[in-house]
Structure 1
Amino acid sequence: MSKKRDQAGTFELLTRLPQQIVTLAKIEYDNAKREIVSKAKKAGIGAGAILIALFFVFFMLEALVIAAIAALALVWPWWLAALVVAAALLLLAAGAIFAGIKLIKRGNPVPEETLERVGADIAAMSEVRVNAETPRSSGTQMPQAGEEGNWR
């Protein structure tokens, strides 16, 4: 039986491999870029919708403040009702500011776990040393069978 001519040999396949790997990497890069652009567009549309909702919430809160002033104006003079509501809003804003400052101080932006892992990696890499011995044969740097390697 004769070997088929349309099948590639091992050496031919090995010579094609680097180009195929590069082509695959380019295709995957293009796919990732396309996916990121698609998701970014959707996120932008979602952010726009949230911004529009916040716009309406702002006016709703304004209407609630006016309603609170009008409700208190039934009992007190309108200027006193407006002053009381303004003071209450000032207290709420101050509480939110203090809570925000406390949360900012608590949140440490330094990635401590990552720094610990990188430090451990550097320590492990510093333990790897090149063997100080010169090679036995003048032409090779590779260890022979049964010999200790150049790295320890």
Structure 2
Amino acid sequence: MTEARTEPSVGELMGQLSAQTSRLIRDEMRLAQKELQESAKHAGVGAGLVGAAGLLAVLGLATLIAAMVAALSLVLPVWASALIVAVALFAAAGIAALISKKQVQKVPPPAAETMNSVKLDIDEVKEARHGSRT
């Protein structure tokens, strides 16, 4: 009598391994896609709220400026109050522009070594592309 074979063959095991690996990869891809969608949703809501906060801050600043004009108008004509506040705002903008200009001037140019390295990298990529075409 011959005994019935109860263990799967190597070919059957390899087929099962392939099927299980494919299923695992598909499941992992679906999970990653779901996690990415959830992250994107939260990022979108967060970005929208940051935009709303920025808009509200600008509106608050505009209201504060209007309050300054109104306060000055108690002792000066309204047009003079508005003019004084506008000049103060332009002066603050000019100071901020000068400070930013000085900061930008402090930015050093890229190092010569870095530029040479980038040029070499570009040349190597060009050579690799031309070499793969022939």
Using structure 1 for the length normalisation, give the TM-score: 0.53
Residue 29 (structure 1) aligns with: 29
Residue 92 (structure 1) aligns with: 92
For residues 55 and 96 of structure 1, the distance between their equivalents in structure 2, rounded to whole angstroms, comes to 21
Residue 59 (structure 1) aligns with: 59
Letter of the aligned partner of 2:39 in structure 1?
Answer: K
For residues 72 and 107 of structure 1, the distance between their equivalents in structure 2, rounded to whole angstroms, comes to 45
Summarize the Cα distance change of 1:95–1:27 in structure 2 as closer, same or farther, 3 Å threshold: farther
For residues 72 and 84 of structure 1, the distance between their equivalents in structure 2, rounded to whole angstroms, comes to 9
* Cα root mean square deviation, aligned: 3.7
For residues 107 and 33 of structure 1, the distance between their equivalents in structure 2, rounded to whole angstroms, comes to 42
- Structure 1 residues without counterparts, runs of 5 or longer: 123-152
Summarize the Cα distance change of 1:50–1:3 in structure 2 as closer, same or farther, 3 Å threshold: farther
- Structure 2 residues without counterparts, runs of 5 or longer: 125-134
Using structure 2 for the length normalisation, give the TM-score: 0.58
Aligned pair count reads 111
Alpha-carbon offset, residue 61 of structure 1: 1.2
For residues 72 and 35 of structure 1, the distance between their equivalents in structure 2, rounded to whole angstroms, comes to 55
Summarize the Cα distance change of 1:17–1:56 in structure 2 as closer, same or farther, 3 Å threshold: same
Residue 69 (structure 2) aligns with: 69
Q: Which has the higher helix share?
A: 2
